[in-house]
């Protein structure tokens, strides 16, 4: 299995990240993160909006693992669209996580979640300039975006000449967002695949179960391997010890014919609106 990806600025990033959306702050986020770190994850994906940075930070500390060995991502809330607001939220994330720097900081979405699709191009440039400031001052090792369209990406690049290193998008079997993915991969912007299991809704899919049986594996592992086979970085989330451990142990070479078939599929899970 691919162990890491390299961003265009040379920073390496472990090839499977531990997703933490909908893991409540407190015992749940603390235990899940500690289990993940003990299982071997060295990449944790959180966000200010998940409200769990404090427990994740405590688990990182208590794991005894050197901070430098763990790749930590957080995100400026989608609702924050000012330069100063971005810096304020960044410092608050550092405080909650109890770390001195982040490995990756993302703009959570191009629009507030309550106004999906709103044109915030001007405001996103301000937020992006704040991220560039943090990057230049070595408070983050890499910067990027999430849920950005090609147009949203070009807007930032044209205004600042600084290309995001990552675009984290909703990506799973049947939902590949080809236009964005192709643009990112042609421009050396790493695509991170969020909701690689379609927030759990692919797990009972009959066709995927049959294919997983062929590889003597599970649907979850097949979904994670699928992202990797398409050069995207999966961020599976689980609160369940056995699943957390299993999701990191993915060693499946999907045959070209099967990969082509999976890539040819349209939606096979329920359609959902954007989720944070």
Q: How far is the CB of 46 from ligand NAP (least distance, A)?
A: 7
Instruction: Name which of 22 and 25 has its Cβ closer to ligand NAP.
Output: 22
In the residue annotation, 50 being an active-site residue is answered as yes
Annotated active-site residue in 8, 30, 41, 50: 50
How many CB atoms lie under 10 A from the CB of residue 245? 16
Q: How far apart are alpha carbons 276 and 139 in whole angstroms?
A: 24
Q: How far is the CB of 243 from ligand NAP (least distance, A)?
A: 4
Nearer to ligand NAP, 138 or 146 (CB): 146
Other C-beta atoms lying within 10 Å of the C-beta of residue 59: 21
Give the list of residues 6+ apart from residue 258 with CB closer than 8 angstroms, or none.
211, 214
In the complex, minimum distance from the CB of residue 266 to ligand NAP, in angstroms, rounded to a whole number: 18
22 is written with which tokens? 């909908």
Q: Which of residues 130 and 193 has its CB atom nearest to ligand NAP in the complex? A: 193
Please report which helix (H) or strand (E) contains residue 114, including its range.
none
- Show the tokens assigned to 185: 């991969």
Separation CA 14–CA 6 (nearest Å): 9
Residues 6+ apart with CB under 8 A from 240: none
In terms of CB distance, is 18 or 183 closer to ligand NAP? 18
CA–CA distance, 149 with 109 (Å, rounded to integer)? 10
* DSSP label at residue 76: E
Smallest separation (angstroms) from ligand NAP to the CB of 90: 16
Q: Which is nearer to ligand NAP, 33 or 238 (CB)?
A: 238
CA 55 → CA 34, 52, 98, 116, 140, distances in Å? Answer: 10, 6, 10, 29, 20
Q: How far is the CB of 160 from ligand NAP (least distance, A)?
A: 21
Task: Provide the 8-state DSSP code for 67.
Answer: G
**Cβ at position 203, least distance to ligand NAP in Å:** 5
* Residues engaged in binding ligand NAP (CB under 6 A): 19-22, 45, 108, 146-147, 168, 194-200, 203, 220, 235-240, 243, 246-247, 275-276
Other Cβ atoms less than 10 A from the Cβ of 201: the count is 15
Residue whose Cβ sits closest to ligand NAP = 19
Other Cβ atoms less than 10 A from the Cβ of 121: the count is: 14
Residue closer to ligand NAP by CB (options 47, 99) is 47
In the chain the first and final C-alpha atoms are separated, in Å, by 28
Query: Which residues are identified as catalytic?
Result: 50
């Amino acid at each position: 299995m691919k162990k890491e990806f390299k961003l265009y600025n040379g920073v390496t990033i472990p090839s499977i990240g531990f997703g933490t959306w909908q893991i409540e702050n407190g015992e749940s986020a603390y235990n899940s993160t500690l289990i993940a770190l003990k299982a071997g994850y060295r990449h944790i994906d959180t966000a200010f909006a998940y409200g769990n940075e404090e427990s994740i930070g405590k688990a990182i500390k208590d794991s005894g693992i050197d901070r430098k060995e763990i790749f930590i991502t957080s995100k400026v809330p989608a609702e924050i669209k000012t330069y100063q607001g971005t810096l304020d939220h960044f410092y608050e994330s550092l405080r909650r996580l109890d770390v001195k720097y982040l490995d990756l900081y993302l703009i959570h979405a191009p629009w507030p979640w309550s106004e999906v699709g709103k044109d915030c191009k001007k405001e996103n440039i301000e937020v992006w300039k704040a991220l560039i400031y943090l990057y230049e001052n070595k408070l983050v090792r890499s910067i990027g975006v999430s849920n950005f369209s090609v147009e949203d990406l070009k807007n930032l690049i044209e205004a600042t000449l600084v290309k995001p290193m990552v675009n984290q998008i909703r990506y799973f079997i049947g939902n590949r967002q080809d236009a964005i993915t192709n643009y990112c991969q042609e421009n050396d912007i790493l695509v991170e695949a969020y909701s690689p299991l379609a927030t759990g809704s692919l797990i009972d899919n009959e066709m995927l179960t049959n294919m997983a049986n062929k590889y003597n594996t599970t649907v979850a592992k097949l979904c994670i391997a699928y992202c990797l086979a398409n050069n995207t970085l999966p961020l599976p989330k689980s609160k369940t010890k056995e699943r957390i451990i299993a999701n990191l142990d993915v060693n499946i070479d999907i045959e070209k014919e099967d990969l082509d078939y999976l890539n040819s599929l349209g939606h096979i899970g329920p359609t959902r609106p954007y989720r944070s």
